[in-house]
Amino acid sequence: MLRNLPEQTQMLIFTGNNISVLSDNVFGEADYLNGLKIVDLSNNLIKDIKGKAFHHVSNVERLILNHNNISISSKYDNNYHHPRVFSNFYNLRELHLTDAFVDNTDGALADDLHDIFVNSNLTKLFKLHLEQNEIKNFIDERVFCDLPELQQLYLGDNIIPRLNFNVLCLPKLGFIDLEHNNITKFSQDDLDTLNKLAKPYRSENLMIKLEGNPFRCDSSIKNFYLWLHKTNVEVKNLDRLECYQTKGGTKYIMNLKNLVESRNSKVSLALTVLLVILVFILLTLLGAYVYLKKDSVRSKFAPLFESVTRKVHYTTLESQAV
């Protein structure tokens, strides 16, 4: 039926079906759908997309494949995912792949995505959604480097443990969503890299989302907190960041801001107490020294006392005379 759409079609919403395979030329074998800009194929239980499935719809700007079961497998399997699957989308600006792949997809997903980006010529892609795909690691850190126009990258709700992909190769990247991943800390190199995506290195500042990550409440958290307040990178929902700590088999979740401020106040209180103790000890030692050397102190200060007393006496006499 998709091969017989009206020529005037600009938006196609075809969702909630049971279409396991998108065969070659799913929209027909002629370039007559020149006005088609948006294609939504979400929730169709799609498992396999053939290499030429999306030919002849080169003007599409937004492709949505959310919530399907696309398989990633070797080329010898029936569900082989062709790396040129998006090669005909010359004008594609938004690619939505939220929860698009089959559950428990292994690490090959990241490699396959890289092959797709390299071979599909997505030179105008502005926005990429990859949330909820159980992505953990990118073996090739340049996985997104063939997307020169990419400005918004959504990687939330995955299992990413750190900044394990290259972002400096994306000259226009302005937003990264890393919320609800498995990031426990950022190294200093990671923080320095993020700084290079903001002023003064770029004309615009990077915006990033980090809430929902299990940051550890260890010694590195203070350095991260200080970075958050001095960097030009705009961290969304800063007050919602939390860190996790386990004591006695119990996991504690603490607001990052409250934890650091509490630690700082404890340090400030400790320094104040220490200063008071040191002043008390100093005064005690000074008093003991004066007591032990009282004769010597009296002999040294007696002339001074006598001089002051004499001046006071003379002043009193002068005042009486007047």
Amino acid at site 226: L
Give the mean pLDDT of 219-224. 85
Question: Is the entire prediction scored with pTM above 0.75?
Answer: yes
For the stretch 30-87, pLDDT in tens is 888 999 999 999 999 999 888 888 988 999 999 999 999 988 655 545 545 567 788 8
Q: pLDDT grade, residue 196 (50/70/90)? A: very high
Cα-to-chain-centroid distance, residue 214: 12
H helices of the chain, where?
Answer: 108-119, 188-195, 220-230, 256-292, 294-321
For the stretch 240-288, pLDDT in tens is 899 888 777 666 678 876 655 554 444 455 566 677 788 778 888 877 7
Q: Among 191, 251, 254, which residue's Cα sits nearest to residue 226?
A: 191
For the stretch 106-157, pLDDT in tens is 566 777 788 888 888 899 999 999 999 988 888 788 999 999 999 999 999 9
Q: For residue 301, report the phi and psi dihedrals to the nearest 5 degrees.
A: -95, -10
Burial of 319 (0-12, 13-18, 19+ CB in 10 A): exposed
Residue 131, CB-side half-sphere exposure with 13 Å CA sphere = 18
Tokens of 104: 């428990």
Distance CA 292, CA 277 (A): 22
Distance CA 49, CA 81 (A): 6
Cα-to-chain-centroid distance, residue 211: 8
Percent share of the chain, pLDDT over 90: 48
Q: pLDDT grade, residue 319 (50/70/90)? A: low
Homologous superfamily assigned to 2-182: Ribonuclease Inhibitor (3.80.10.10)
- Mean model confidence pLDDT for the chain: 83
